[in-house]
Amino acid sequence: MARIKTCLLCIAFVVCFSGISFAEAPNPFEGDWVADVAAKVLPSVVNIASVKTVTMQSPLFNDPFFREFFGGGVPHEQVQRALGSGVIISTDGYIVTNNHVVGGADKVEVRLSDARVYTATIVGTDPKSDVAIIKINKTGLPAMKIGDSSKVRIGSFVLAIGNPFGLEQTVTMGIVSALGRSGLGITDYENFIQTDASINPGNSGGALVNMKGELIGINTAILSKSGGSVGIGFAIPIDLVMSIKKSIDKYGKVVRGWLGVSVQEVTPEIAKGLGLSSARGALISEVMKGGPAEKSGIKHGDVIVAIDGKPVQTTASMRFLISEIMPGSAVKVKVLREGKEKVYTVVAGDLAKAQVPEHQLLIKDNKFLEGATVADLTPAGRETLNLKPEIQGVAVIEVSDNSAAAKTGLRPGDIILTINNKTTRNLEELKKVIIDYKGMKMSISLYRQGMVMTMTIIK
């Protein structure tokens, strides 16, 4: 089965013939047009090297036998290095790249096209979209002009310029293969531009530029069995990137809007039952009491088909559109109700504030789960994780380093469904299951990144 691989070494640039007719467009196979565009954008290409120190433990000590006789083992530090690329977006040193290139790094170095090297500071990162903003202390830099990714069209010719496998200044050519790709499991918020321009490992943090040399996206990942290019690469639209930068500039962090609804996909069967002409939109399965949607008049059973004039095809596209809304902004939400279109004005809430659980529990005195902080799922948390109604459990908020819970394998974001085959739909049920439990084995059923898994731990 093909699998997604993120690119970690260098960058790619894409140039597209967006929004122009064949009569207006230059022929990319004639003259030096490709070379002219490449020459225009190459000075904005930078190489990024990051270093991160992590605490590691031998995998032997995951085995209960070794832990029993030799203890937890002695953790040791390991240096991890990542190579990627970035794009200069302002003359005073702001650079955009991928979070997986610089996230958590102790040191970041930027190498300009003229070989000058600068130490960079991380201004802000967003793991949920894999975007990062860094800055070097230098002015007069060759910034790339920001374009409009909403105008990119399928079939537009593209160039990929970058450093695949460490080979600098490599130029390849292709087309934009698809738009709005989601459900790939690369990031939480996906709306990728897909291209068949050759992108290989090492293109992370690169860019998509149109025929005017305007930035329209950041290359992030490839789909490949071998790890090499097979003609399926993905880039983050620049509209999303700049929305994230705007949020970081204003709030010092990434903030996202919240409607206060749980949704599910509109299947052909549901569409037929609701009298819809096609299986599109997001069916509201729950409206949060007191939330923005309820206050506006939106109801359970409505089908969201557009947000601020932008079509909603799936639940993933709805989540993406909402993620771009600034809290406090008024947006027009079009829904289908009993076969009729209705438009409601919704003042978006703050997702981060809505996610804060009212009750949390730091688990103590349990040799399997000690060190984990857990909480009841909030409506916003369910919305963010796109949880189906049948997923009922307790959310793992935090796991202390080197704790029993960390050694068990719990991660922040996990949803604990059952322990020893007993349901843990809320904190009260979880407390009843683990209180005074002194057994030598624990079986934990989790929901993690769209999958249900079971871990059995023996101590």
Catalytic residues: 100, 130, 204
What does the DSSP 8-state code read for residue 356?
Answer: S
Rg for the chain (alpha carbons), in Å? 24
Taking residue 458's Cβ as centre, other Cβ atoms within 10 Å add up to 12
Residue 394's Cα: distance from chain center in Å?
Answer: 23
How many Å is the maximal CA-CA distance in the chain? 78
φ/ψ of 396, rounded to 5, equals -85, 115
Instruction: Name the CA dihedral angle for 13, 14, 20, 24, rounded to a multiple of 10 degrees.
Output: 70
For CA atoms 287, 293, 297, 301, give the dihedral sign: negative
Question: What's the start-to-end Cα distance of the chain, in Å?
Answer: 36
The CA–CA distances, whole Å, from 283 to 98, 336, 449 equal 33, 9, 21
Residues 174/158, Cβ–Cβ less than 8 Å: yes
Distance CA 217, CA 160 (A): 12
Q: Which two tokens stand for residue 204?
A: 């992370």
Q: Which of 453, 458, 433, 366 is nearest to 403 (CA)?
A: 366
Alpha helices in 11-135 (DSSP H): 33-41, 64-70, 99-102
CB-based contacts of 62, cutoff 8 Å, min separation 6:
407
What does the DSSP 8-state code read for residue 47?
Answer: E
Angle at 22 between CA 19 and CA 26, to 5 degrees: 90
Q: Which of 167, 219, 166 is nearest to 192 (CA)?
A: 219
For CA atoms 300, 390, 281, 340, give the dihedral sign: negative
Residues 153/175, Cβ–Cβ less than 8 Å: no
Taking residue 2's Cβ as centre, other Cβ atoms within 10 Å add up to 10
Q: Which two tokens stand for residue 413?
A: 């974001």
Distance CA 115, CA 175 (A): 31
Q: Taking phi first (over 0 means left), then psi (-120 to 50 degrees means alpha), and beta for anything else, what does residue 60 get?
A: alpha
Give the bridge partners for 395, in sequence order: 375, 415
